[in-house]
Structure formats: structure tokens, C-alpha cells
Amino acid sequence: MKTRPLSTTVQVIGLVSILILLVLMSPGLIQADESAPEWVFFISNNTTFLDQPAPVGTVIKAFDPEDVQCGELTVSVEGKIQPAMSCQRDDPTTPAVDEGPEPGEGIFFTINDLPAMVTPHSLNFDAVSPERAVTWTAFGDIWEVDLKAADSDGDGIPDGLECSGVISPAATPDACPDTDDDGTPDFQDADSDNDGIPDSVEVGPDPLNPRDTDGDGTPDYRDADSDNDKILDADDNCPLTDNPGQEDSDGDGLGDACDPTPAPAIRPVGGYGESLSPLELLGPWTILAAGVAVGIGAVLFGKRCLLNIWGTCRTIW
């Protein structure tokens, strides 16, 4: 029986490998950047954005450690990366230009421009540890991964954003900031700066652009003195308003600088009386007749009041 020369066998194996790669790169299976010299590929059956399957139209990007983008894909199947997304490696023939990761370097992801956590399942369909670093391995390799931009502590701020660009906080929580040093990283801490004000409040109306009251570059939810008045938020009677003097004319615990009614109010007693507590002054007030209103305080004490512009309350029986 004739045996095939070793060189011929190697050639056949090489041709088969190339044919397999070409099949994988066929339209509908893999999207590759044809201008790149070499790629690795990513597929996913579980890609989520803010705890929901990534909707069609979601944009996923891949980067090298120097934040050079090496791949991009727009989701066409909800919650999945199908076709596969390619990530090009750095071109060794252009040493002055960084086109992507070197072999062995990590690959990081964003979902709609928010840092995403990546959990690997397999490399070339062989199972790998979920804690294994996702790197540029070899030309034509195929990674299966989970990608998610999650919100573990329910404060509305994606984990990747709270981890300040550390992309895999689930696998390496110690790499994420722990603002108050309580042993719980910010992405799992509902009050990151331990000032008694939940992150969900301090972050402001747009969690993707956290509020920074004093403009010092530290968002309020991580800033123990959000207004930079040298009074810690936990002790500040106006935590978002600069008031170093802490003036509180009506003694209601809310500083004059942020109190809509800083002058003392009066409880009705036979026409005039003592100061009302903050709870008693809570609104909204309901107009009963011309110039007559009733609020929580009035309901509690069975009073109907006529309020002037200073908040003075005169009994109307």
C-alpha cells in the first residue's frame, strides 16, 4: 500500500484548515475586517444590557488594553452575537501603528459604549474556566462568551461604569473601587461613599452621566462632600448646596440655602401659635376656598389654615 509523503499530508491538513476558516467566514456566520491581517472571533448566546437581552441594534465593540478598537458588531439577533464578531490583531509589519491587541493581550468590550463584563465559556469549542482572561490567542480562534452591562446593586449605574473601566468585575471584584473601604466594591454597594444617601439618589436623573455637584471629577455617589463646602454629606443640612455656615433659621434640619421655606412657620392656636414641624408643613396644599388651604399638618391637627407668603398659618374654624 502506498503511503502519502509527509509534505503532502501537511499540505492537505493546511488546505483543510483554510477551507474550514473560509466556511466560518462565510456571510451570515462571521463578520471579519477584511483589511486586518489576522483575527480571533467571538460568538455569544447570552449578551445582556442592563439585565435584559441586548436588543437588535445594540452596538458591541472590542478593544485592546490601550483602548484601540479592534472589532465592532451591531446585534441582529436579540441577546446574541450572531454572526460572530472579529477582533483584529496588531499588524507586526507596522510597528509604529497600534491596530489591535498583540497575541496574549486582553480583549475588552463595551455594549452601547458602556463597559461590559465578559465571561468565557469555550475556546475553539473546548470548555474553559469562566475566570480565564479573554485574550488574543491565535489566528482563527473562536471564543464563546457571555457579555453583560449589568447593575448588581440596583442603583441604576451599570457595573462596568461603577468599576471605572475595569471590565470583568464579577471575576475580579477586588479590582473595582471600594470608595468607603467597607469591603464591598462600589458596583455591589448601594451607598458607595457611606454618607447615608443611596447611590440611586446621588447619581441624579441620568445614571449614565452621574451628577457631580462640585465639578471636581468625582461623582456625588462617590464624593463624601458633594458640594465641597467642607461639611461631609452625612452631616450637611444642604448636601448639594454650598453652605459652610449651615444656617437653619426655622430649625427644621434643612439649611436655609436649600430650604424653600427657611422662615419659621406658625402653628394655629386660637388664631396664632407656635412653630410647625417640617412634617406638619409637608404639602401639597389643597385649596378649599379662596385663600384657604389644607395640608398634611392641617389634617393631622384638624385645622384649616390661611397661609400668607411667609408660611404663617392662621386658624380658620
* CA 65 – CA 56 distance, rounded (Å): 27
Query: Is the Cβ–Cβ distance between 245 and 233 less than 8 Å?
Result: no
Burial 36-64 (b: 16+ CB within 10 A, else e): bebbbbbbbebbbbbeebbeeebebbbbb
Q: How many CA atoms lie within 13 A of 225 on its CB side?
A: 9
Query: Is the Cβ–Cβ distance between 260 and 238 less than 8 Å?
Result: no
Q: C-alpha grid cell for residue 165? A: 473601566
Query: pLDDT tens per residue, the chain (317 residues)?
Result: 444 444 444 344 344 344 444 444 444 444 444 455 799 999 999 999 877 899 999 999 999 988 899 999 999 999 999 999 999 999 989 989 999 999 999 998 989 888 788 899 999 999 999 989 999 999 999 999 999 887 888 888 888 778 765 444 444 455 688 999 999 989 889 999 999 899 999 999 988 788 999 999 999 999 999 999 999 998 988 898 999 999 988 887 888 888 888 876 444 433 333 444 444 444 444 433 334 444 434 433 444 444 444 444 444 43
Predicted TM-score (pTM) of the model is 0.54
Collect all residues with Cβ–Cβ distance below 8 Å to 111 and sequence separation of at least 6. 47, 49, 54, 58, 59, 60, 147, 148, 149
Q: Is the dihedral of CA 203, 68, 137, 39 positive or negative?
A: positive
